[in-house]
Amino acid sequence: MRKIKELIIEKSLLSSALVTIAVTLGIILVLAIEAFRFFSEVSIFDFFTDTQWTPLFTEKHFGILPLLSGTLLTSFIAIAFALPIGLSISIYLSEYAPKAFRKSVKPLLELLAAVPTVVYGFFALVVVTPFLQEIIPNLSGFNSLSAGIVMGIMIIPYISSLSEDALHAVPDSLREASFGMGSTKFQTAFKVIVPAASSGIIVSIILAISRAIGETMIVAIAAGQQPRLTLDPTVPIETITAYIVQVSLGDVQHGSLEYRTIFAAGITLFVFTFLLNTLSYRIRKKFQEKYE
Amino acid sequence: MEIIMEKPIKEPKILDSVIDTSLKKTHKIAVNGAKVWYGDFEAIKGIDMTIKANTVTAFIGPSGCGKSTFLRLFNRMNDYVDSFRMEGKIKIDGNNIYKKKVNVEELRKEVGMVFQKPNPFPKSIFENVAYGLKIQGIKDKKFINDRVEKALRQADLWDEVKNDLKKSGLALSGGQQQRLCIARTLAVEPSIILMDEPTSALDPISTAKIEQLIFELKKKYTIVIVTHNMQQASRISDYTAFFYMGELIEYDKTKIIFTNPSIKQTENYITGRFG
């Protein structure tokens, strides 16, 4: 009787694991099939070289570059904003802050990641953009700058929290060694501890980039819906994710070429985040080997 | 073995006020009424002690007797323990190192430390040894190269690593890592080297190498070593201090401590009757 119980438990646990794998594979499969159909009508070469993305207009262009540039531009702004702040926070918490302070502030910071992104989106649109318009008068109502900055605020905890974990995992014996040599706290932090934790810090940055690239709500609300191949952060653009939202919510006919564009865009996005996640996984594995 | 010992002990940097030269010659370290608390626990219960220059002094005693805590007073490494509190004076070359304006970083360049577990930085062998010089802002490459080579030779590691100085310090064996840590300490040319059970994590052959090294180093440095190994204390030290329950029970020439201790507790400990 007990054996049967054990067997049932084991198999049910196994099946829930298999369901997850099946769902993931299903998503990839659907993406691949629909993208394949899309690319049988639109050449892959045009897709990656055309500088216009106008699938919903009469004169159709299927160049992913404007969407890609929009995605990379907002992500770049987000990282440029979040990286210095996130790293400073992590170094402060791990190397300088009193234990009690660290214990209470870290979870508070992580709350930033728990704010619904739609709230961030509106925050960007109705607070940050008007504020920035005071400084940059010709800033459009929709722009990649404020979307990028707010996305940066959202990903700060990814960088600060994961980097802090990496810094904190550096053995105290290295701190002792460094102090024992006559280093100041600052020298110990930046010449010994940060280099020793560098792989963990890099992983945190990659995950943050990955999160920024996949972020949808903030850019859909605050960055606009105008695919545009530009590096100008003050004008409306459109990201891959925002485009997918736009088409999914619109009245594009299922099964049409216009409808399949979202799968082509989706698989491009998927490839990017997949590569980034694989990279971070590799680095993390190397990192573990070093300390065990 | 190739060991270069041409430079005399340089003048310590922390010596900027009054120096009693006669005292300096004999007493490198002078402790006056040292008491230490961790929270409510009194770890050191009032110790007076003087340590002579260019000698090896061994601290022995059962675990928890306060010998490591006492050792770490000399380079103020206890400062990082949250509940640490201390009373009394510790003078190095006549200067109280617990005075308010003492620059702790400068002190530690004068009083180097080798730890129980080898703790090289995850950097190359060269960078490990050059670290102490670089944090002092020294940029002269030739000077750094010379110092690194000299320190590695002094630590008897040069011949083993001279061809792969770029290799990670962590790739070395445990014994080599500990000698690398000693080289790292020697590179900044301190006058005192504190060793906190430096061989307890090493095999007998590596231990013998480090003991040999300590014997050579005392010509130039004042060495204070905490050890759990009675034979080690008797082999390498000139003076031995026996600690028990935060008190200094007996302190004398090593020969006397190991052949004719005047206190029963000491005798019991070194003959292995307790501890």
Q: Return the domain boundaries, chain A.
A: 2-40, 49-290
pLDDT value of residue B23? 42
Mean of per-residue pLDDT scores for chain A: 92
pLDDT value of residue A252? 85
| Chain A, nearest residue to B106 by Cα | A182
Angle between helices B141-154 and B125-134 (to 10 degrees): 120
Mean of per-residue pLDDT scores for chain B: 87
Q: % helix / strand / coil in chain A, to the nearest 5?
A: 80, 0, 20
DSSP A124: I
Q: Are residues B135 and A187, on separate chains, in Cβ contact within 8 Å? A: yes
pLDDT value of residue A288? 64
Distance, in Å, from the CA atom of B239 to the CA atom of B47, rounded to the nearest integer, reads: 16
Tell me the per-residue pLDDT of A123-150, one tens digit each, with 9 for 90 and over.
999 999 999 999 999 999 999 999 999 9
Residues of chain B contacting A, Cβ within 8 Å: 75, 77, 80, 82, 105-109, 112-113, 115, 117, 119-123, 131-132, 134-136, 170, 181, 184-185, 188
| Chain B, nearest residue to A186 by Cα | B135
> Residue B53, exposed/middle/buried by CB under 10 A (0-12, 13-18, 19+)?
middle
pLDDT value of residue A5? 92
CA distances from A193 to A153, A167, A171 (A): 25, 6, 9
| Chain B, nearest residue to A98 by Cα | B82
Evaluate if residue A233 carries a pLDDT over 90: yes
Evaluate if residue B5 carries a pLDDT over 60: no
Residues of A in contact with B117 (CB under 8 A): 173
Q: How far is B265 from chain A (nearest CA, A)?
A: 33
pLDDT band at A219 (very low <50, low <70, confident <90, very high): very high
3-class SS of residue B89: strand
DSSP A64: S
The region of weakest confidence among A19-33, B141-155, B261-275 is B261-275
Is A95 in contact with A167 (CB distance < 8 Å)?
yes
| Amino acid in position B214 | I
Mean pLDDT confidence for B248-270 = 91
Sign of CA dihedral B156, B161, B167, B170: negative
Distance, in Å, from the CA atom of B63 to the CA atom of B163, rounded to the nearest integer, reads: 41
Kindly calculate the radius of gyration of chain B based on its CA atoms and give it in whole angstroms: 18
Q: How far is B103 from chain A (nearest CA, A)?
A: 10
Evaluate if residue B15 carries a pLDDT over 50: no
Q: Are residues A176 and B122, on separate chains, in Cβ contact within 8 Å? A: no
pLDDT value of residue A291? 52
DSSP B148-166: HHHHHHHTT-HHHHTT-TT
Tell me the per-residue pLDDT of B34-87, one tens digit each, with 9 for 90 and over.
999 999 999 999 999 999 999 999 999 998 899 999 999 999 999 888 889 999
**High-pLDDT (> 90) share of chain B, %:** 74
Q: Are residues A195 and B181, on separate chains, in Cβ contact within 8 Å? A: no
Is A284 in contact with A203 (CB distance < 8 Å)?
yes
Q: How far is A179 from chain B (nearest CA, A)?
A: 8
Q: Which residue has the higher pLDDT, A57 or B151?
A: B151
Distance, in Å, from the CA atom of A193 to the CA atom of A162, rounded to the nearest integer, reads: 15
Mean pLDDT confidence for B140-154 = 95
pLDDT band at A289 (very low <50, low <70, confident <90, very high): low
> Residue A284, exposed/middle/buried by CB under 10 A (0-12, 13-18, 19+)?
middle
Residues of A in contact with B123 (CB under 8 A): 195
Evaluate if residue B1 carries a pLDDT over 80: no
Query: pTM for this structure?
Result: 0.82
User: In sequence order, what are the residues at sequence separation of 6 or more whose Cβ sits closer than 8 angstroms to the Cβ of residue B260?
Assistant: none
Residues of chain A contacting B, Cβ within 8 Å: 99, 171, 173-184, 187, 191-192, 195-196, 290
pLDDT value of residue A284? 81
Tell me the per-residue pLDDT of B200-252, one tens digit each, with 9 for 90 and over.
988 999 899 899 999 989 999 999 999 999 999 999 999 999 999 999 999 99
Q: Are residues B184 and A176, on separate chains, in Cβ contact within 8 Å? A: no
Residues of B in contact with A173 (CB under 8 A): 115, 117, 119
Is B104 in contact with B79 (CB distance < 8 Å)?
yes
Residues of A in contact with B108 (CB under 8 A): 179-182
pLDDT band at A215 (very low <50, low <70, confident <90, very high): very high
Mean pLDDT confidence for B145-171 = 93
Of B80, B122, B131, the CB nearest to A181: B131
Residues of B in contact with A174 (CB under 8 A): 119, 121-122
pLDDT value of residue A251? 83
Is A153 in contact with A82 (CB distance < 8 Å)?
yes
Tell me the per-residue pLDDT of A154-195, one tens digit each, with 9 for 90 and over.
999 999 999 999 999 999 999 999 999 999 999 999 999 999
Q: Residue A49: name the closest of A61, A65, A35, A33 by CA.
A: A65
Evaluate if residue B185 carries a pLDDT over 50: yes
pLDDT value of residue A285? 83
The tally of CA atoms less than 13 A away on the side-chain side of residue A44 is 5
Distance, in Å, from the CA atom of A181 to the CA atom of B152, rounded to the nearest integer, reads: 16
pLDDT band at B275 (very low <50, low <70, confident <90, very high): low
Length of chain B as a residue count: 275
Q: How far does CA A3 lie from the centroid of its chain?
A: 46
**High-pLDDT (> 90) share of chain A, %:** 78
CATH 3.30.70.260 fits A49-290, yes or no: no
Q: What's the count of helices (H) and strands (E) in chain B, helices before strands?
A: 11, 10
Evaluate if residue B9 carries a pLDDT over 90: no
Tell me the per-residue pLDDT of B75-119, one tens digit each, with 9 for 90 and over.
999 988 888 999 999 999 988 999 988 999 999 999 999 999 999
Q: Is A253 left (phi over 0), alpha (psi -120 to 50) or beta?
A: beta
Q: Which two tokens stand for residue B272?
A: 């292995």
pLDDT value of residue B64? 87
Tell me the per-residue pLDDT of A67-83, one tens digit each, with 9 for 90 and over.
999 999 999 999 999 99
